[in-house]
Amino acid sequence: MLYYLDTVIVVYAVEGNPADQQRTLDHLTKLEDAGHRFAISELTQMECLVPVLGPGDGQRLSDFFRFFNGPNLRTLGLTAAIYTRASAIRGGHKYPTAKPVILREIGDCTPTGPAIPAASPPQPKRYGLADALHLATAIEFGCDVFLTNDNQLSSFPDITVEELPRP
C-alpha cells in the first residue's frame, strides 16, 4: 500500500521530541518492513523547510533532505486537479466540533443544579488550506492511506486516515 505522510509525521521522524520521533520511526519501519511505500508532496517539503532555512540550521536542513531522498519515499507534485479537489474538500468538509461545555452556578455542587448554557456552541470550521491540499494530493495520486497525528482528520471520508499509534 502507498501511505501519504502528513507533514507532522515527517517533522516527528526528522526532529521530533525523542518520544514522538521514536514512535514515528518505529511505526514507519513496521510499515516499510510489511512492504508499504510512502509519499509526500512538494507542500510537505515546503512546510518542513520553512523553519530550517535560517542561519545556523545546516544540520537540520541536511536531516530533512536525507529524509526527502529516502529510497522508499516518492515526492508528488501539485497539479491543477489537486487544487480543484482541495477546493471541493474545503467547500464540502468541516473539522469535527467539540461538544459545548455546560457550566453550573457557582456554589452549586449538585450535578442537576441550574445549568448556564455556553454562550454559543462552537461552529464547525472548514478544513484548512494545507490539510485540504495534502488530502487532495493523496487522493489524486491514488494513495491508500493518509498517515497523520491530527485526530481532526480521522473522520475524512474520501481516503483511509490512520492516526500515528499512541504509546
Task: Give the start-to-end residue ranges of the domains of the chain.
Answer: 2-98+124-163
Residue that has been written with the C-alpha cell 536542513 in this structure: 61
Enumerate the H helices of the chain as residue ranges: 7-15, 18-33, 42-49, 58-68, 80-92, 129-140
- In order along its 167 residues, the chain shows pLDDT tens digits of 999 999 999 999 999 899 999 999 999 999 999 999 999 999 999 999 998 887 777 888 999 999 999 999 999 999 999 999 999 999 999 888 765 555 455 554 555 555 555 556 667 788 999 999 999 999 999 999 999 999 999 989 999 999 999 87
Rounded to 5°, angle at Cα 14 from 128 and 53: 70
Q: Which of 63, 62, 73 is nearest to 2 (CA)?
A: 73
Burial class (CB in 10 A: 0-12, 13-18, 19+), 156: buried
The CATH class of 2-98+124-163 is alpha beta
Report helix, strand or coil for 41. strand
Q: Which helix (H) or strand (E) holds 115?
A: strand 115-116
Instruction: Read off the pTM.
Output: 0.84
User: Beta strand 103-104 with 73-76: parallel, antiparallel or unpaired?
Assistant: unpaired
